[in-house]
């Protein structure tokens, strides 16, 4: 596979410099350009067609949410990965709905950022575990009254099992192991799930399943075999758990 072509977008030159210094040592990642706001990002996306845009949320001119919407219209094959200090619910949901493939916090380690980019290139979605669990639980509660908890209309029982484990952040390899399936069978189930739900990614599938009442994050994380983040230092445990999942997912297993 060719090197992953990455565009850096952040209004702070120091942040861009730090990311550039971090990623230039990775042989499978190439920095193809930099921009300080959404308008600059759009110009470079059109000219360079990068594989991944690593972008902040709050920037002068055009911010991350609007830029993500425009980028996905301009070049749908480019994946947008957010790297920000903000874990505000509005930004997370707004960016996921705009089409972002990943949402990382700037508290992430260098290794987490690199592994996340590799996972995104492999077709995975990457979300900070503490952020996504909180957001999905909030969405589930807010829409419970209007949801149709039909247990996943159109999905088979096995597809629902796969979807619920995916909602817990499981990799394809982990899902296969827990359900005694091959990895290729898990991938086939995911393709079928996406087609039936009319979505294009795990993130979209999980968000829609929560909105429809098919998946409850709190229940899912306590389900048999679930690798919910262990007790203790929550932030550290979440990052360690997330890193293990990313390492397993980076090759699409």
User: What sections of the chain are H helices per DSSP?
Assistant: 13-23, 38-48, 64-74, 89-98, 110-121, 129-142, 157-167, 172-179, 183-197, 202-211, 217-221, 234-249
Fold match, 4-121 / 133-249: no
Nearest 5°: phi and psi at 180? Answer: 60, 45
**Tens digits of per-residue pLDDT, 128-154?**
776 666 666 665 555 554 444 444 557
Only one residue has tokens 């702070």, namely: 12
With respect to CATH, is domain 133-249 assigned 3.40.1800.10? Answer: no
Residue 248's pLDDT band (boundaries 50, 70, 90)?
very low
Q: Give the per-residue pLDDT at 47.
A: 95
**Tens digits of per-residue pLDDT, 47-89?**
999 999 999 999 998 989 999 999 999 999 999 999 999 887 7
Residue 47 tokens, joined: 């000219």
Residue 188 tokens, joined: 């086939």
Q: Can you give the residue ranges of every domain in the chain?
A: 4-121, 133-249
Q: Which CATH architecture has domain 4-121?
A: 3-Layer(aba) Sandwich (3.40)
- In the chain, what percentage of residues exceed pLDDT 90? 42
Q: Give the closest residue to 227 by CA, choosing from 213, 212, 240, 211.
A: 240
CA atoms within 13 A on the CB side of 69: 9
| Distance set, CA 90 to CA 1, 107, 212, 235 (Å) | 36, 19, 20, 21
């Amino acid at each position: 596979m060719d090197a992953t072509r990455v565009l850096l977008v952040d209004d702070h030159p120091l942040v861009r410099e730090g990311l550039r210094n971090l990623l230039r040592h990775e042989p499978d990642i190439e920095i193809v350009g930099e921009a300080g706001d959404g308008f600059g990002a759009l110009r470079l996306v059109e000219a360079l067609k990068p594989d991944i845009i690593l972008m902040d949320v709050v920037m002068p001119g055009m911010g991350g949410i609007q830029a993500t919407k425009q980028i996905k219209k301009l070049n749908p094959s480019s994946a947008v990965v957010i790297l920000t200090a903000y874990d505000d619910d509005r930004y997370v949901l707004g960016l996921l709905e705009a089409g972002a493939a990943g949402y990382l916090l700037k508290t992430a380690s260098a290794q987490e950022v690199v592994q996340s980019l590799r996972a995104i290139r492999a077709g995975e979605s990457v979300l900070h575990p503490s952020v996504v669990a909180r957001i999905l639980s909030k969405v589930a509660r807010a829409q419970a009254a209007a949801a149709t908890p039909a247990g996943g209309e159109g999905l088979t029982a096995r597809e629902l099992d796969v979807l619920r484990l995916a909602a817990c952040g499981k990799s394809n390899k982990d899902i296969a192991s827990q359900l005694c399936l091959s990895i290729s069978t898990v991938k086939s189930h995911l393709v079928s799930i996406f087609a039936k739900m009319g979505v294009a990614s795990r993130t979209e599938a999980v968000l829609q399943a929560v909105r429809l009442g098919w998946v409850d994050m709190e229940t899912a994380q306590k389900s048999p075999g679930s690798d919910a983040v262990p007790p203790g230092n929550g932030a550290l445990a979440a990052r360690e758990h997330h890193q293990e999942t990313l390492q397993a997912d980076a090759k699409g297993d």
